[in-house]
Structure 1
Amino acid sequence: MSNKIIKIALLDMYKGEPNQGMRCIIDVVNRFSPVISFEIFDVRVKCELPDIKEFDIYISTGGPGNPLIGDGNWDVKYYAFIDTLNKWNSENAVKKHVLFICHSFQMACLHFGLATVTRRNDTSFGVMTIHKTKEGVTDPLFEGLADPFYAIDSRDYQVVQPKLSVFAKKGAKIISLEKIRDHVQYERAIMAVRFTDYFVGTQFHPEADPISFVSHLRNKQAKEKIRAMKGKRKFRNMLEDLLDDDKIYRTNETLIPNFLRTAINDLMKTKKMLSN
């Protein structure tokens, strides 16, 4: 394989459970072929993690379960792997770029000590509005997205109570928050964080496309659960949002591609400079 090809490691955090997320991520990644190649690593079932010398970009997926609890094996190795990537970036000119999604995002926030991860009072699921913060308005991850923009949200846990002194010390930034809910007293959850120039994460699912959501609704039990959770009117509105080109389609076509373009451009530029 040519050394000019940029290699992406997809860290599968789905614990062997059926999902649409990996299909969606692969679909987005394949848009950058033949510049890139990718390989999947089953983190939670097989405890697989890549050799960081062999890969340039990492996408760590969402997944089921409690982000606060691992089995004492894969989770310990996963956190050590994140630290190794971070250390690499502090010591090397050619950086490793990482995108954390949902479950992985919660684990990263916990690991870096940036905030508290708690169980929600109820499940958040469906098409949600995501609001950029002041820092998020200029973050390259969100370039081309409106404010607010729309994304698929699916979580029983949330990242809240940011430790601002830790954010400041690490140079991390909150770049988006969940929608404002005037009718409840709950704190707005953090929806995206710029951990470093090269590490970024989202609570929502930027990879999701309408096909993945409709596929989920083919499960009658899941469909009835969502309808009962939201009510008929909100459920119908959610289906309409799925078909709106400026909502889920736009996020799917924009956010991960932004991440990949930024990473690829940085890698190609740095490698070219070092080869001169």
Structure 2
Amino acid sequence: MSTSKAEIKVAILDLYDGIANEGMRGFREILERYKAKHGLNLTYEVFDVRRKAQVPGLGFDAYISSGGPGSPIDSEGTEWEKKYFRLIDKLEDKNLGNGHDKKPVFFVCHSFQLMCRKYGLGEIGLRRSPSFGILPVHLTDAGKHDQVFENLHDPFYTVDSRSWQVINPDMSRFEQLGMKLLALEKKRPHVDLPRAMMAIRFSEYFFATQFHPEADPIGVKGMLLREEKKEEVINEHGEAKYREMLERLDDPDKIAHTQNTIIPNFLDAALLRVEKV
């Protein structure tokens, strides 16, 4: 590590509320790989937002806000959520200012849902049954031109793990706020249900996915082989689809490619501008 390079600091906002998960490991591994690939003087710090009401200050170069369990509605008014949104407002103000010190944030799943509630972008509710598996995500026209999805197929495959969801986008609200809907969940012609929003660009510096781009084959395989998850997936998608998901784990063009593409593309825009040799 070259000491002549500026330190780049990333804050990881942990919204898992102390629940065991694969997401935090995924974020750490992506950051470690990115640091090694680009030879960066990169450090990161984790903040336990929901359990300890910890939030970072403004002294970080980029922020990643994780998924998490439970309702994205019931936390309204809680101390941790008030602190979380105060931070988001400060980051947004910084990004709207004239300075060069911009604060990019990547929001994942639960964080996506909280932000959709904050901006009033769609309907938030429980799914008829939980979604879990390796599923296709379809890009909108705007998504096909977004830098974060560069080098991905359409559709691409990723890990979808949701009990709650945001559906029925309010496109007039999107337009009013200058936000872009970038991706939708898989097409289900046999089911008369709205497709969930899967990716949104809130601004040049705020990007969000309702799926898990940090997920990797090892973590997902461990979950799919657990008896209760296996049962959940088979009940929702059928046994043939469950077997297909296990096979997809070994395909380097599926979730491994997604994990190696989306967050690194975000980091390219967020961090490489910071690096000074």
TM-score normalised according to structure 1 size: 0.93
What is the deviation of 1:242?
1.2
SS at match of 2:6: coil
Residue aligning to 2:13: 11
Residue aligning to 2:102: 95
| Equivalences for residues 227-238 of structure 1 within 5 A | 227-238=234-245
| Equivalences for residues 193-272 of structure 1 within 5 A | 193-268=200-275
SS at match of 1:14: coil
| Equivalences for residues 148-187 of structure 1 within 5 A | 148-187=155-194
2:69 is the alignment partner of 1:69? no
Residue aligning to 2:90: 84
Residue aligning to 2:22: 20
Cα distance in structure 2, aligned partners of 1:51 and 1:232: 47
- Report how many aligned residue pairs link the two structures: 269
Q: Which has the higher contact order (CA 8 A, sep 6+)?
A: 2
What is the deviation of 1:2?
7.5
| Equivalences for residues 13-162 of structure 1 within 5 A | 13-33=15-35, 34-52=40-58, 54-70=59-75, 72-91=78-97, 92-162=99-169
What is the deviation of 1:3?
7.7
What is the deviation of 1:218?
4.2
Deviations 1:183-207 (A, max 9, x none): 1111111100000000000000000
Q: Could you tell me whether the CA contact under 8 Å between 2:129 and 2:236 is conserved in 1? A: no
What is the deviation of 1:231?
2.1
Cα distance in structure 1, aligned partners of 2:247 and 2:224: 14
SS at match of 1:245: coil
* Structure 2 unpaired stretches of 5+: none
Once the two structures are overlaid, the 10-residue window that deviates more, 84-93 or 198-207, is 84-93
Cα distance in structure 2, aligned partners of 1:89 and 1:48: 22
CA RMSD in angstroms, aligned pairs only: 1.7
Counterpart residue identity of residue 101, structure 2: V
What is the deviation of 1:131?
0.5
Q: Could you tell me whether the CA contact under 8 Å between 1:95 and 1:267 is conserved in 2? A: no
Counterpart residue identity of residue 56, structure 1: D
Deviations 1:93-129 (A, max 9, x none): 2200000000000101111122221211111110110
Counterpart residue identity of residue 48, structure 2: D
Q: Could you tell me whether the CA contact under 8 Å between 2:230 and 2:242 is conserved in 1? A: no
Counterpart residue identity of residue 107, structure 1: L
Counterpart residue identity of residue 199, structure 2: A
Cα distance in structure 2, aligned partners of 1:213 and 1:160: 25
Cα distance in structure 2, aligned partners of 1:14 and 1:249: 23
Counterpart residue identity of residue 162, structure 1: P
Give me the identity figure in percent: 45
Distance 1:187 1:228, change over 3 A: closer
